[in-house]
Amino acid sequence: MFRTAFFLVSICCCNFYWCHGCLEEERILLLQIKDSINYPGGSSLDKDWVGKNCCQWHGVECKPSSSRVISINLNLTRDERLELWYPNTSLFAAFKELEKLDLARNQIGGWVMPQGLCELKNLRYLRLAFNDLDGRELPPCSTNLTLLEELSLSGNDLGSYSSALTGLCGLRNIRNLNLCSTNLDERAFPLLCLSNLSKLETLSLQDNDLGSYSSALTGICELTALRVLDLSLNKINDHSIPKCWGNLSSLEKLDLSDNKLKSPFNSLTGFCELRHLHHLDVRRNSYVGSIPQCFGNMNYLRILFLSGNQFTGTIPSSIFKNMTNLMIISASHNQFNDSISFSTFANLSELAHIDLSDNVRLEVQTEHPHWVPTFQLESLLLSNCTLNKRGGNGIPTFISTQRSLKTLDLSHSFLKGTIPSWLLDNLTVGSLILRGNLLKGPFPQSTRRNNSMLNELDVSDNKIFGELPSNMDTLFPNLIVFNMSKNELQGTIPVSISKLQTLQMLDLSQNNLSGEMPHGLISRNNTSLEYLRLSNNKLHGNILSKFSNMTELVVLLLDNNGFTGTIASNMLSSPSLKILDLSKNNLSGFIPSWLSFLMNLAILHLDGNFFNGPIPSEVCQMQNLHILDLSNNKISGSIPSCLPNISSWMKEISIDVDISVEILYFRMLYSLDGTNYARSINTRVTTILTTKGMILTYEGLPLSLMTIIDLSLNQLTGNIPSQMGHLKTLHSLNLSDNFLSGPIPESFQNLESIESLDLSHNKIVGTIPPQMVQLYKLSAFNVSSNNLSGAIPNEKQFLTFNESSYTANPHLCGPPLQRSCSCNNSSQPRDNKEEKKKKKTTLQSLTVLFFSTCGWLLHIFWDFGVSLPFLPTRTGDGSSLVQWTGALIAAI
């Protein structure tokens, strides 16, 4: 019975023409396409194009009534390793009812039988994005594609052949045209025929070269049906911007971001008539002046992006009166300098994102006049504004009414007073940033059991005192980032911090924390921690021996504490570790040879401890080492000659500090305008170098390329290995204050990147190799207090060094020293007097050098702090650098 029914069904559905759900002739065509797509040499389509019913194949769609193929999607199908593909268009033309064809990302370089494209009479949608078409391959038969509504050619290089795109002029029914990133300028763009594209609604021209030729873009004025116009990332300026906005009155979305526009909108004819705009983006232009009042006409506006310009004045409250749909306002990174009251926004019930950050002179008033918000924000970014100047600089109270808030950034906004406990108790905030204010009082005691939403809590650089809560794990079980650095915290680090299972970044540096490090923090089962900074506290104890399994750890900074003991063997199993700073503690014993197991280590600071014994030759196995600082210890023995095995000192290799990128990414997830964070990725290192006794600031390399060896202030003996001359990418070498003997290796002439070289206070003999004048980057050089002799090289870079570079070498002669090379002995009495004077200058020069070296290192960390946002900010440490300098100068 069952069997009969099945038999009947198969009989009635399987006529010769429509047997398996798709037409046999079209199935064969698809198989031909499959054969061609990875031809020659590639494997055929790895997608599931097997079986009889081709309508069920991946990327294929048929019309149920006719079983004919109506859509073929081959987006990203050709093997990327193959050369260009030249598809035979007849294969596609043979599909009589094809409406949709997507051939994006297939390395198409042109067509076999291009006229085949003209036969696709039913085509409505054609996507050829990200291929290697140059415009000439577009068929000259666009008039035949009468039904085509949507065409994407983005990511092809169409700009090379002028007017190659005139073929597009026949697309009378085109509604959506995407020409992003196609290298177009006005000469290639078919501006003259735009009036033929009268149905065009969406025109995307992002990332081209448009705008260099004044008024060439006026063709856009003909597109009266246009609803979406994207001209972002071009070269449009006040002269080349179209001046006919009145014609485009249907426009709903206008993106002019990343251009060169300058004068305020009122000078743009008709701009104020764009009454139907929903979305206006003018970010990152050069707009000056004030926000035009006529924005108030744009009653439908939902998204308003004004950030990254030079707007001044205020954001006029009148424009928001009728903007009842407004969801996003971003006005960050401008120069607004008046005041704005949040009562302005009170009735904008749709508002979800407000970003006014980085308008340092903008006074933001949230308390007066009294108002009640009708909105529920998701993000509020007021960093670098002046907040509530006339209301005691308090944290805005309306925030307590916000039940959807995810990101709250009030950093650097001159806040005073205490942190109200509702801020931690009542909010759903994921990211709470209060960095760089004057908040004081104890860490807020939470009344609620937990604030399970909080992922990022940054209260660094304030005046919070007292102890951290002992129940951190129950209060903030989902913390990923916790930054309390630069406060006045006391007591011990609560054990509960080590129970935070998701914690990735912990920064408690620059406080008055004491006691030992909680065991669980460093030897725990959960190893999510990637960044741990406890620098500049009063921590003590023998913590290092208790280290264990921190597989994710990338940065460990424990410097400037009172840690004691030796570094036990294999204490640190952290294969990802890139930066390790244990400097300025009371550690002793040998430099452990197992450090070489830390294959990714790029920056190693062990300076300012009591390490003794030799430098283990295993150090040379750390192929990624960029900065090695062992200075100011009791290290003896000779300098290992294998140092040139370290590749990052031989050729330029960048440290990939991906941790910062992760943090940045994390922040961008929540913030509207990632630019201010993204900007810091490529922060350049500021180094301080001494030239002619003056301290110069030099904006140079990104930290990721900085390379330094500092072995100064130790008890090293023996010769300087001549192999060190092979360190071609080394920027700074400091071997001063040791007992090194022998000559300056001639090979030093090859240190082509060297900027600072200090060999002072050793027992070095011989002459200064004259070939060293080739080191054209050398700007700080000191060989004072050695036994050098002979003439000082007197050309090129060496003309910039003064006497203090050479003093206290009894047999050196020639300028800049007073001692002339020819008559060394005749001026004996004067020399004595001079010697005294020189002693004084030596002390001075040493001071300057000491300052410069330390200042330099400090600076590197300071700047590194900028690229890792959880280290203190540039301003913060900049001022402490100044204080530090003051203290140093006072001590002298």
Ligand X SMILES: *[C@@H]1O[C@H](CO)[C@@H](O)[C@H](O)[C@H]1NC(C)=O
Contact positions vs ligand X (CB under 6 A): 73, 75-76, 88, 90-91, 102, 112-113, 115, 118-119, 141, 144, 166, 169-170, 193, 196, 296-297, 299, 321-322, 357-358, 383-384, 400, 412, 422, 425-426, 520, 524-525, 549, 551, 573, 676, 873-875
- Angle at which helix 874-891 crosses helix 828-867, to 10 degrees, equals 160
Output the smallest distance, CB 344 to ligand X, in A: 14
In the block, which residue shows the tokens 């140079």? Answer: 700
Task: Give the C-alpha separation, 684 to 672, whole Å.
Answer: 25
**Residue 500 CB, nearest approach to ligand X (Å):** 12
Q: Which is nearer to ligand X, 13 or 669 (CB)?
A: 669
Give me the least distance between CB of 68 and ligand X, in Å please.
Answer: 17
Q: What are phi and psi of 390, to 5 degrees?
A: -95, 15
Nearer of residues 142 and 760 to ligand X, judged by Cβ: 142
Angle CA 834–835–836, to nearest 5: 90
| The pair of three-digit structure tokens given for residue 4, joined into one six-digit string | 């009969």
CB 815 to ligand X: min, Å: 44
Please report, as a single letter, which amino acid is at residue 132.
Answer: D
- Minimum distance, C-beta of residue 442 to ligand X, in the bound complex (Å): 19
User: 458 or 581: whose CB is closer to ligand X?
Assistant: 458
Q: What is the DSSP string of 170-221?
A: G-TT--EEE-TTS---TTTS-GGGGGG-TT--EEE--SS-TTSSTTGGGGGG
Three state DSSP letters for 773-814 = HHCCCCCEEECCCCEEEEECCCCHHHHHCCHHHCCCCCEEEC
Collapsed DSSP state (helix, strand, coil) of residue 539: strand
Q: Please, what is the minimum distance in Å from the beta carbon of residue 428 to ligand X?
A: 12
Looking at beta carbons only, is 170 or 430 nearer to ligand X?
A: 170
Smallest distance, ligand X to C-beta of residue 271, A: 15
Q: In degrees rounded to 5, what are phi and psi of residue 647?
A: -65, -30
One DSSP character per residue, 268-294 reads: STTGGG-TT-SEEE--SS--EEPPPGG
**Among 805, 804, 810, residue whose Cα is nearest residue 787:** 810
Residue 300 or residue 884: which is nearer to ligand X going by CB? Answer: 300
Amino acid at 157: D
For ligand X, the closer CB: 384 or 690: 384
Q: Is the dihedral of CA 67, 68, 70, 75 positive or negative?
A: positive
Residues written for the chain: 892
Residue 243 or 389 having the CB closest to ligand X: 389
Task: Please give the Cα distance from 528 to 521 (Å, whole number).
Answer: 11
CB-count burial class (<10 Å; 0-12, 13-18, 19+) for 242 = buried
CA torsion, ordered 720, 723, 729, 732, to nearest 10 deg: 0
Q: Which residue is nearest to ligand X (CB)?
A: 169
Residue number with CB closer to ligand X (116 or 725): 116
- 125: which strand partners? 100, 150
Compute the least distance from the CB of residue 290 to ligand X, in Å. 17
Amino acid identity of residue 287, one-letter, is Y
Comparing CA positions, the residue from 553, 561, 613 lying closest to residue 582 is 561
- Our CB check for ligand X shows the closer of 512 and 883 to be 883
Give me 14's structure tokens.
């399987």
Return the bridge partners of 688, or none. Answer: 697
- Kindly state the smallest distance separating residue 658's Cβ from ligand X, in Å: 20
Q: Which residues contact 445 (CB under 8 A, 6 or more apart)?
A: 421, 469
Please, which residue, 274 or 744, has the CB nearer to ligand X?
A: 274
Half-sphere exposure (Cβ direction) of 388: Cα atoms closer than 13 Å: 17
- Alpha carbon 583 to its chain centroid, in Å, reads 28
**Closer CB to ligand X, residue 102 or residue 803?**
102
CB 142 → ligand X: shortest distance, Å? Answer: 8
Nearest to 446 by CA among 428, 420, 466: 420
> Rounded to 5 degrees, what are φ and ψ at 514?
-130, -175
Closest distance to ligand X from the beta carbon of 201 (Å): 18
CB of 679 to ligand X, least distance (A): 8
Copy the structure tokens of residue 192: 């003259």
Of 113 and 438, CB closest to ligand X: 113
Q: State which residue, 129 or 653, has the beta carbon closest to ligand X.
A: 129
Q: Would strands 505-507 and 694-702 be described as parallel, antiparallel, or unpaired? A: unpaired
Strands 756-758 and 363-365: unpaired
Residue 325 in contact with residue 302, Cβ under 8 Å?
A: yes
Which residue number, 489 or 571, has a Cβ lying nearer to ligand X?
571
- Please, what is the minimum distance in Å from the beta carbon of residue 145 to ligand X? 9
- Pick the closer one to ligand X by CB: 318 or 715: 318
Smallest separation (angstroms) from ligand X to the CB of 671: 10
Minimum CB distance to ligand X smaller for 33 or for 849: 33
Q: How far is the CB of 257 from ligand X (least distance, A)?
A: 18
Least distance CB 463 / ligand X (angstroms): 18
- Distance of closest approach, residue 565 Cβ to ligand X, in angstroms: 21
Alpha-helix residue ranges (DSSP H) falling in 679-723: none
Whether 352 and 378 have beta carbons less than 8 Å apart is answered as yes
**Residue whose C-alpha is closest to residue 37's, from 98, 115, 105:** 105
Q: Residue 90 or 490: which CB sits closer to ligand X?
A: 90
* Other beta carbons within 10 Å of 799: 12
Q: Measured from the CB atom, is 553 or 757 closer to ligand X?
A: 553
Of 695, 530, 723, the residue nearest 638 (C-alpha): 723
Q: Which of 780, 774, 772, 778 is nearest to 802 (CA)?
A: 780
Two tokens at 330? 């971003």
CB of 496 to ligand X, least distance (A): 12
* 733 phi/psi in degrees, rounded to 5: -130, 120
- Contact in structure between 164 and 136 (CB atoms under 8 Å): yes
